[in-house]
Amino acid sequence: MTPILLEVSIESVASAAAAERGGAHRIELCSNLAVEGLTPNSRLIEEVRRRISLPLHVLIRPRPGDFLYASLEFEVMKNDIAQAKRLGVNGVVFGILDQTNQIDVARSRELTAIARPLAVTFHRAFDVCTDLSCALEAVVETGADRILTSGGARNADEGSPTLARLVQQAAGRLTILACGTIRATNVRRIVEGTGVREVHSSLRLGSADSQDRGETLQPEAVAGFLRAASGIRAARG
């Protein structure tokens, strides 16, 4: 049975080290989780890369708010991806929408091309789209490797029916990375109900990712999550 892959969202060197000690499989590094994450500065990326051996993915998001970016912001994103590559990361995470809140395929494809050979995740901008089935096909067109999503809902529990449909629709063309208040207490239910094999969480204290403010990740939280996720039987297609 393939184990569940845990990606942990962190914003500090201490939390990155704790995630690795606890047994996490991959890290998403960002700054300012209080606004759902922004691009970390190069010094933080460099220091985290130096301290850990885990696959390291970096969020590329130049500002809080919507995912419709002006030309100058788009140039910043391209430069930030190039800088992350130079610093030895393993992947980047971004999302761009157009004026109708649909996937901006052309711009996203351009960022994917700049990022290669790094892994590419299209983030929760996906959940803003009104038709997630069409949005998935658009993300496939961008060449991204995975979609970070709660199924368009406030959390993965509420979005589980949609997550299950997205896993079926993706059919191995890309990976559905489930997110949205996933904890040791509900990971089994979410995975068994949706068929996802990768999950994303901040794993800090608090009942929701949006409430995790300024708290350093503890290795025990990661280890406990992985114990709860061990031996899960995913939903069959």
Q: According to the model, what pLDDT value does residue 231 have?
A: 76
Nearest to 80 by CA among 62, 57, 54: 62
Residue 88 is which amino acid? G
Q: Report the C-alpha gap between 93 and 187 in whole angstroms.
A: 22
Residues 120-172: tens digit of each pLDDT: 999 999 999 999 999 999 999 999 999 999 999 999 999 999 999 999 999 99
Nearest Cα to 94, choosing from 152, 82, 188, 201? 82
CA distance 87 to 81: 10
For residue 203, give the 3-state DSSP assignment: coil
CB within 8 Å of 21: residues ≥ 6 apart: 219, 222
For residue 9, which phi and psi values (nearest 5 degrees)?
-90, 125
pLDDT exceeds 90 at position 1: no
pLDDT at 3 over 90: no
End-to-end CA distance of the chain: 15
Where do the domains of the chain lie?
Answer: 5-229
Residue 206 has pLDDT above 60, yes or no: no
For 56-107, write each residue's pLDDT tens digit: 999 999 999 999 999 999 999 999 999 999 999 999 999 999 999 999 999 9
Q: Kindly tell me if the per-residue pLDDT of 210 is higher than 50.
A: no
CB 173 within 8 A of CB 145: no
pTM tops 0.85: yes
CATH code for the part of the protein at 5-229: 3.20.20.380
Name the residue with tokens 């184990």. 3
Give per-residue pLDDT as tens, 21-67: 999 999 999 999 999 999 999 999 999 999 999 999 999 999 999 99
